[in-house]
Amino acid sequence: MPERLTILLDQNIPREIKCWLARLNSAWSIFHTSDVALDGRPDADVLEWARIHNAVVITCDEDFSDLRNPSLKSVRSIIRLRVWPTTVEEIQRGLERLFLERQLGDFARSLIVIDTSTIRIRKL
């Protein structure tokens, strides 16, 4: 049985990624910030929504990887993409590597940074 996961895509993630993730695993609940009235809202609002919904945040925003931010400690996990260029295809490649190489349990209370060659996981 597929594992349930709630995902919030930050505004800098193309909406096409939402459809791609839904095809990857139909058990996941996937939202884009534009779906939940968070486009243009401060990072703190995005993190609060993620906390309330126990969601994993997927973003390209560097601010979400600043471990000095106390709000990060209250969310399930942050996946920070450091791929270039930030096209749909490169984002898909990075996320595909993560989902193929790691178990969902690895995501608990973690900051996951994906670049073109590595995946780093740090506990929040």
Domain that holds residue 33: 5-123
What local confidence, expressed as pLDDT, does residue 2 receive? 52
Work out the angle at residue 114's Cα, subtended by the Cα atoms of residues 68 and 89, and round it to the nearest 5 degrees.
Answer: 135
pLDDT tens-digit series, residues 20-30: 999 999 999 99
38-60 confidence digits (pLDDT tens): 999 999 999 999 999 999 999 99
- Count of domains forming the chain: 1
The residue with greater pLDDT, 106 or 89, is 89
User: What's the CATH number where 107 sits?
Assistant: 3.40.50
The mean predicted confidence, pLDDT, of the chain is 90
Rounded distance between C-alpha atoms, residue 91 and residue 1, angstroms: 26
